[in-house]
Amino acid sequence: EAGVVQSPRYKIIEKKQPVAFWCNPISGHNTLYWYLQNLGQGPELLIRYENEEAVDDSQLPKDRFSAERLKGVDSTLKIQPAELGDSAVYLCASQTGGTDTQYFGPGTRLTVL
Amino acid sequence: DQQVKQNSPSLSVQEGRISILNCDYTNSMFDYFLWYKKYPAEGPTFLISISSIKDKNEDGRFTVFLNKSAKHLSLHIVPSQPGDSAVYFCAASAGANNLFFGTGTRLTVIP
């Protein structure tokens, strides 16, 4: 079974530029999460989807961050415009209903110059 | 406010000995606890979990112990192997909802 797929793996951009990250969850997993991980810290939740509905986006900085999961499968996380402090690893995770375990992708390491 | 805490940023253990990684939490509503292992440039990999109705769960060389009264859990790795060297994250959730992670403990197993 394929795991969670994320792309790109690495992205370097200049501040004020837009950037987008893509995630393909494990097949059949209806719950999808985006996390932010800063250096030396644990992952922190940005947004959680149940199918195509964002059920928890309370930690998403909505002035510059947006996300979508239009057909309840793949998801895209966007930052516009990026700031220096956005440099971090962005992780996607998925989970199937009735279980508590989340499975993570490899992450996208974003560097904002 | 950090609801899940891993107070030891690093731990070094000799190969073959026991590794004990600790985790404390503050939210009494947490009912499910997980340990993830992370290698450099990879995402966290699920290792082992425990429900709050249990106090111990074992899977091969890995055992997780939960002390609800102390709001403390620990991961035991016996025997430790060099391939176990990684960052270990403790995580907790309440009612199968969002996970809250600790800051991680870097384990180094010395051959």
Give me A110's structure tokens. 């974003």
Average pLDDT taken over every residue of chain A: 94
Residue A44 banded pLDDT, cuts 50, 70, 90: very high
Sites in chain B below the pLDDT cut of 70? 96
Residue of chain B whose alpha carbon sits nearest to that of A39: B103
Give buried/exposed letters for A16-53 (b at 16+ CB in 10 A, else e).
Answer: eeebebebbbbeebebbbbbbbeeebbbbbbbbbeeee
Range A10-28 average pLDDT: 96
Cβ-nearest to A101 among B34, B97, B104 = B34
On the question of pLDDT at A98 being above 80, the answer is: no
The count of CB pairs under 8 A between chains A and B is: 53
A90 in reach of chain B (CB within 8 A): no
Range A54-66 average pLDDT: 93
Contact A48 B91 (CB under 8 A): no
How confident is the model at residue A25, as a pLDDT? 96
Range A79-99 average pLDDT: 93
Range A55-64 average pLDDT: 92
How confident is the model at residue B69, as a pLDDT? 96
Residue A1 banded pLDDT, cuts 50, 70, 90: low
Cα dihedral sign, A62-A72-B94-B52? negative
How confident is the model at residue A100, as a pLDDT? 76
How confident is the model at residue B87, as a pLDDT? 97
How confident is the model at residue A70, as a pLDDT? 83
Pairing label, strands A88-95, B32-38:
unpaired
Cβ-nearest to A104 among B44, B93, B103 = B44
The answer to whether A75 and A92 have CB atoms below 8 angstroms apart is: yes
- Which chain B residues have a beta carbon less than 8 Å from that of A91? 43-44
